[in-house]
A and B are shown apart, each in its own frame.
Chain A
Amino acid sequence: MKLHEYEAKNVIKAAGIPVPAGFLIRSPDELTPHLDTLGNAFVLKAQVDVGGRGKAGGILMADKATGAKVAQELFGKQIKGLPVKEILAEQRLDIKHEYYLSITVDRSSRQPLILFTEAGGIEIEVTAKEHPELIRKVVANPLMGDLPPFFIRELLGTAPKEIGPVINKLYRIFIEKDALLAEINPLVATPAGIFAADAKIIVDDNALGRQGITVNRDLSEREREAEKHGFSYVELDGKIGVIGNGAGLTMATLDLIEYYGGKAANFLDVGGGAESERVKNAVRLVASVPSVKVIVVNLLGGITKCDEVAKGIIAAEIPQKVIVRLAGTNEAEGRRLLSEKGYEMLDTMDLVVKKAVEVTA
């Protein structure tokens, strides 16, 4: 789950990395009482999780005279379709130089990867593409504990030594907060020292419990409902509902829908060993989305028993048409149950998907 900017900044501030003076407001009225802490010129930053927030108008400059009006304006905006509910008001920094620092999980080496460049800022991805030599990288063995000083020397090159402790502290945050990503961009040099001007932290969904996070905000209400049942569920914008077992098979079913020219409305992975009650819940959840006109069930039973699946589909009693492909354990019994009730069954995933696309065309 992605933390908001102000939450990420609270985390890095608590770890001893300097951040600009600032506070969070939820309405324009909350701005004026605390303005003295910011100085005359300050920045208002919409707390919306979109890339390119600045370019989309989500970051506005203000001063004491214009502050309330600018805040009003920002609260009234939609940034890439998202309403602005919270704004971080921050002291404006006298930026002399921008650096980039991040720590992420590297799939190739299976270890934390630390990236640092003296060419930071909003064009960082362009820099990475055109001048990859400017990006310094080290891979840290997770068994080493804290980063050894030679790593810091390798990363910093000619950059100011004060950045060293920032790297150490961010690495510790990355480990202790179960982060998949801890990023400071830009990390800025000012006459008053080094500051984290923006920060991004993504917490591992598998570690939310031990991090004391009870609600995964990245999920929609229906996705959360699905999570409670132990399903993974994603909403899309077509007309075909998809139920499968296993992420790969479900994804392949979706790809097949696209291959035949259709569009999926959502997909739900019931997981392995699903019993009839779970299947019933899954079918009802997928059917509850108004745009779903037909549902494709594509289940390959290993541990999953086809007769249980059939009972679940029948018990769900939904109005939409359900097209079923079942294979594996207790297949014959599953087919018998469904055909008694007049459900349409086909032998392969190609056939069920083709049929569903025809029905919605």
Chain B
Amino acid sequence: MIYGDKKIGVLVQGATGKQGEFHIGLMNEYAKTVGGRGVVAGVTPGKGGQQVHGVPVYNTVKDAMKEHDIGAAVIFVPAGAAADAIMEEANAGIGTIVCITEHIPVQDTMKAVAYARMEGASVIGPNCPGLLSPGEVKMGIMPSALFTRGHVGVISRSGTLTYEVVDELTRAGIGQSTVVGIGGDPVIGQTFVDVMQRFEKDPETKAVVLIGEVGGNLEEEGATCTDLPIVSYIAGVSAPPDKRMGHAGAIVEGGEGDAKSKIARLKKHGVPVASRVSEIPGMVRDLFRCGC
């Protein structure tokens, strides 16, 4: 398990909102089926003393930490409050912070991620579906019914596309060790590299499926920093050329953030790239068959 197992206690920030309440229910339903601790506390400023699905709600993260053993947090607060939530959790000493919230201004994310790093916390997201280690723990919003336990790790910038891949893997009888949605924003906490390094130390993970998108060059950094066998897929081959980021984007990335050149560079490094999602299970099976 790369960010915690069934023994980890989870805090939900934004517990009394519609999303927070709904997903506390689903996360604890999952915890029950696997015998895990699940969500043990919620936080919504001003709503301390309430309960959501039997989970006690506190005004601050520190209040919750006094009463419970908490190792991770999941954030459902609105965009304007999300960076603050990340920093509050990092400041309170929570090690893994999953931020589901989308549409956070990137200046806020840069600050929150820099601060969390200073405090030694790992931020997953923002704008992500979280993570799920089948049979152990779910932190976020992934639909658990599609997952099955096994030895393939999945890292993805996308949400539903991740579910599609997991669904294909499960139908093909290939289980997953941990599936991590790292988020689709230009600035995110844990990148392909960070997650890949954790997979490398994880005895449960024998191969990794890496699902990328147009923009940036972090996919190859992730794919080339490990000895684990990898199958990749890059979405956006047909995407119209993005509104160019002035000259700076071209200077930083060598003008190569588009999907086609990204695929070419992955292949050059010897990383197999699926041209359709439905090809992924077969390619993963080939990895195992050749024992490489």
Contact = CB atoms under 8 A, between A and B. Distances in A.
User: A and B: real partners?
Assistant: yes
Interface of A: 2, 51, 100, 102-108, 110-113, 115, 124-125, 128-129, 135, 141-143, 175, 178, 180-181, 183, 185, 200, 202, 204, 206-207, 210, 218, 234, 236, 244-249, 251-252, 254-259, 264, 272, 300-303, 327-329, 348-350
A180 B245 contact: yes
A204 B107 CA distance: 9
A105 to B, nearest CB: 6
B223 to A, nearest CB: 15
In this complex, the member of A107, A257, A258 whose beta carbon has the largest number of chain B beta carbons within 10 angstroms is: A107
A349 B164 contact: yes
A127 to B, nearest CB: 9
Nearest to A175: B107
B142 interface: yes
B239 A142 contact: no
Given A102-B246, A125-B255, A248 B156 contact: yes
B186 A180 contact: yes
How big is chain B's contact interface, by range? 35 or more
Contact of B159 (A110, A181, A272): A272
B275 interface: yes
Given A125-B251, A302-B163, A104 B118 contact: no
User: 5 closest pairs, A vs B, by CB?
Assistant: A248-B158, A246-B160, A248-B161, A302-B143, A207-B105
In this complex, the member of B211, B247, B248, B275 whose beta carbon has the largest number of chain A beta carbons within 10 angstroms is: B248
Contact of A105 (B111, B187, B236, B275): B187
A301 B143 CA distance: 8
A196 to B, nearest CB: 14
Interface stretch (B31-39, B213-221, B281-289): B213-221
Contacts of A100: 247
B156 A135 contact: no
Nearest to A260: B276
Contact of B238 (A102, A143, A255, A302): A255
Contacts of A255: 235-238, 259, 276
B45 interface: no
A268 B250 CA distance: 28
A252 B235 contact: yes
B110 interface: yes
A51 B244 contact: yes
Interface of B: 22, 79, 103-107, 109-111, 113-115, 118, 129, 141-143, 145-146, 156-164, 167, 184, 186-189, 191, 211, 213-218, 221, 233, 235-240, 243-252, 254-255, 259, 275-278
Nearest to B184: A247
Contacts of A135: 251
Contacts of A264: 238
A218 B245 CA distance: 13
A183 B247 contact: yes
B179 to A, nearest CB: 12
Contact of A256 (B105, B236, B252, B276): B276
Given A178-B105, A252-B164, A328 B143 contact: yes
Contacts of B162: 248
B237 to A, nearest CB: 5
Contacts of B213: 247-248, 251
Contact of B240 (A107, A175, A234): A234
B195 to A, nearest CB: 15
B184 to A, nearest CB: 6
Given A124-B247, A175-B107, A183-B247, A141 B114 contact: yes
